[in-house]
Amino acid sequence: MNFRKLNPLYILFFFSLFSCQEEEEKAAFEDREIAFNSDWQFHLNESGNDSISENAEWRTLHLPHDWSIEGKFSQEHPAGTGGGALPGGMGWYKKSFTLEESDSTKVTSVMFDGVYHNSEVWINGNYLGNRPNGYMGFQYELTPYLNYGEVENELLVKVDNSEQPNSRWYSGSGIYRNVWLISTNKLHVAKWGTFVTTPEVSKDSATVNIETTIANKYPEAKNAVIRTIILRNGTEVTSASEEFSIDKDREHKIQQTATVDQPELWSVENPGLYTAVTEIELDGEIVDRYETPFGIRSFEFDLEEGFILNGEQIKIKGVCLHHDLGPLGTAINTRAIERQLEIMQEMGVNGIRTAHNPPAPELLELCDKMGFIVQDESFDIWEQGKTEHDYSNYWDEWYERDHTDMLLRDRNHPSIFMWSIGNEIPEQWSERGAEIGRELAKITRKIDSTRPVTAAMNPPVHTSDDDVTLQFDEPQQPNALAGSGALDIIGYNYAHQTYPKHQVNFPNTPFIATETTSALATRGYYEFPSDTIKIWPVRWDIPFDGGNPDNTISAFDQVRTPWGSTHEETWKIIKKHDFLSGFYIWTGFDYLGEPTPYTWPSRSSYFGIVDLAGFPKDSYYMYKSEWTDEDVLHILPHWNWEEGQTVDVWAYYNNADEVELFVNGESKGIKRKEGDDLHVMWRFPYEAGTLKAVSRKDGATVLEKVVKTAGEPAVLILKVDRESIKADGQDLSFITVTITDEDGTLAPRANNLVQFELNGGGKIVGVASGDPTNHESFKGTKHSALNGKVLVIVQSGKNAGAVELTATSEGLESASTTITFE
Ligand code: GAL
């Protein structure tokens, strides 16, 4: 830490720290809050019994924690396969800690970023409250109940996820996000107490408005000074300062304005951030310091031009993400989220929709830093439920508070460009839906009038099941919510055929496709043209209309759900029309639960462009070829088929005029994309050997890609995403294991069981293959590969040094790699 940056007062705070905390937690106190995650005790009561016996067994763990992911997959669990076929139950957490005598003059609170769900909290036996919503952060003040000095304090949390099903996807269970202990002077910036907006933005200058809510917990009125300093890369660019008076036990709002000259605008390519540092000075001393990262940017959703950021039209190329992190369950880990976002960004994704709930704060912080256009969403459910025990049971009492809190918590993130008040809400068809929609929009605008309100509707116009093509020239009747006046942008889930007609139906309201596509695919699994498309595993055949002219689908083009489309279909439409601001594809990653159209033994989704382990499926390269400047040439499928069998070979490419395909040196012809084609294809009888594709521009080779017929699985190969990670007990290294033949060619059907061993420190925290039907634990040290690949995740320890990971599998040559903790 940099002591020079600190006011002497913080240094004093720092050294008088909570004695229970570990070294790295102390270091964060300059930010006035410390991570309160280590050394909790946990007790699981799977039967859902509401009490803890004296003999209950407690185990020590560090948060964030998801107990469901530790369980066994079974179709008997009440969450069902929709919920990931994992257990719920009732969990108890407790933590003991002591505080310095000198802390007794402060205001101390605990903040939970998210607990799934229905939590209740006690401090030293005093009940603090409950929070049904599993996705919203909440804070309790502890001050009146705390002991100082030698006497211990105990925080107790009950988490009740026993009533199931309560979610349409895997929710996870427990204190699965970070916990913070916040300690401030009695005069301080209130919870989520700043709101930074930039009403005027140009290249030359930006007006920055800062609204700060100050809380006074002193028993008398105070006169003090508020100073807001705007920093860019740690250097002051401007500031505003004024005196204020505040009554005892009051909250008081202060408005300040500053001007930033030649602002660095936040954009997707260059997401420059500023920090507003609020200092409260009382009797000549700085008593509180609060940091608000923010961005300066202007944007609009235009009826003709779509999405405009800083005066330039850009297409939102987004994906929807659920909150689980695959084999890690829902227990948040910043590096795991960052890896997901990196994989998306490499594909060219520039937008994230937080389906269908407020996300972990760390996701939004990363989106701010990395440059994503976020749609933040509060609800999947209003009054009418979708599963028996879901949020509809809490709606009346909690919707206002939950929605308000999301807005207050998230409103300073420059990456957020729209608020979604709900996903596929059944009430969208009724007057009641219009009423609730107007109310949520009113709450939203009162707190933040700088961003538009949308809702994910399916679809916003009236339609009947047999009118699936929705081709029309006359305006169609909007649904009740779309017609309610509540929405600033009309959000479509699916119904891609109607997008070109959006302006007919909604001449005055811009467009966003909140959710699209829902194409199904299993990584590395291919079937050739037939009426019935089979996806892994083959025994669950389902007929789907492929939408191709001859009513056949190449499985390469992913299976099309009746409500969705292939990846190519929707993107072709979005790409074509400027007024279509963009879309959020369902989904970027596979997620736990909702294995539609299957049930058990499937337990995770098939919708991802990337599988649950983080390995791209083929459509990833279609998007990458369209959305990035990087040269792409991707051919599919693998090259292990029956001699003479008719096969299709597809290529996704860009930055080239043509692709020529060779089999064992013989040309199968040159192909070029015509019109709006997104791939080229060859069809011919299979011949084992070497498939080679060459992309060329103006006759010169751009890229060459070779796929060979693989022999028997023989060798394990390890590839580490980061060989050196932080020795902080949290950082992660993701290691891909590839099973190859003796010559190093991927064995495309190898499903061998791979065993891992880690020596020297750290731990294995997850294993996964991307197979939605695999029932081996994600928390074990062995896992079966899917189509030649399996992933293992290593978490660092707190000691620096090198550790060795070894992978073994019966009959295969084993492999080792070194990872360094620094
Ligand atoms: C949508 C829904 C998503 C997911 C998806 C699967 O209708 O909003 O949550 O269920 O379907 O295709």
Confidence of residue 749 (pLDDT cuts 50, 70, 90): very high
Q: β-pairing, 732-740 with 715-720?
A: antiparallel
**Residue 188, preceding bond cis, omega within 30 degrees?**
no
User: Residue range 204-216: average pLDDT?
Assistant: 98
Please write the tens of the pLDDT for every residue from 529-555: 543 334 333 223 344 433 333 323 345
Which of 81, 390, 518 most suits a substitution to test ligand 1, by most atoms within 8 Å of the C-beta? Answer: 518
Please write the tens of the pLDDT for every residue from 74-108: 999 999 999 999 999 999 999 999 999 999 999 99
Q: How far is the CA of 135 from the centre of ligand 1 (A)?
A: 19
Cβ neighbourhood burial of 743 (10 Å; 0-12, 13-18, 19+) = exposed
Per-residue pLDDT, 179: 98
In a 3-state reduction of DSSP, which class is residue 435?
helix
Q: How much helix, strand and coil, in percent to the nearest 5, is found in the chain?
A: 15, 40, 45
- Quote the strand ranges of 68-106, DSSP E: 89-97
The H-or-E segment that residue 677 falls in is none
Q: Which amino acid is at 381?
A: I
Pick the closest to residue 394 from 162, 215, 573, 130 (CA basis): 130
Q: How far is the CA of 83 from the centre of ligand 1 (A)?
A: 13
Please write the tens of the pLDDT for every residue from 711-739: 999 999 999 999 999 999 999 999 999 99
Residue nearest to atom 3 of ligand 1 (CA): 586
Distance CA 9, CA 26 (A): 15
Q: Locate the ligand 1 atom nearest the alpha carbon of residue 515 and give its number.
A: 8
Q: Report the chain's mean pLDDT, rounded to a whole number.
A: 91
Q: How far is the CA of 116 from the centre of ligand 1 (A)?
A: 21
Distance CA 93, CA 52 (A): 11
Per-residue pLDDT, 598: 80
Going from the C-alpha of 559 to that of each of 279, 564, 575, 608, the distances in angstroms are 56, 10, 21, 12
Per-residue pLDDT, 470: 53
In a 3-state reduction of DSSP, which class is residue 475?
coil
Please write the tens of the pLDDT for every residue from 362-391: 999 999 999 999 999 999 999 999 999 999
Bigger pLDDT: 773 vs 526 = 773
Q: How far is the CA of 457 from the centre of ligand 1 (A)?
A: 11
pLDDT > 80? residue 2: no
Contact call for residues 680 and 695 (beta carbons, < 8 A): no
Which of 594, 602, 604, 609 most suits a substitution to test ligand 1, by most atoms within 8 Å of the C-beta? Answer: 594
Contact 424 CB / ligand 1 (< 6 Å)? yes
Contact 387 CB / ligand 1 (< 6 Å)? no
Per-residue pLDDT, 22: 41
Confidence of residue 559 (pLDDT cuts 50, 70, 90): low
User: Residue range 288-306: average pLDDT?
Assistant: 98
Contact 518 CB / ligand 1 (< 6 Å)? yes
Contact 514 CB / ligand 1 (< 6 Å)? no
Contact 590 CB / ligand 1 (< 6 Å)? no
Residue nearest to atom 12 of ligand 1 (CA): 518
Confidence of residue 561 (pLDDT cuts 50, 70, 90): confident
Distance CA 777, CA 789 (A): 17
Distance CA 628, CA 623 (A): 8
Distance CA 138, CA 446 (A): 21
Q: How far is the CA of 103 from the centre of ligand 1 (A)?
A: 49
pLDDT above 70 covers a percentage of the chain that reads 90
- Which residues form the catalytic set? 424, 515
Residue nearest to atom 6 of ligand 1 (CA): 518
Q: How far is the CA of 617 from the centre of ligand 1 (A)?
A: 20
Q: Locate the ligand 1 atom nearest the alpha carbon of residue 564 and give its number.
A: 12
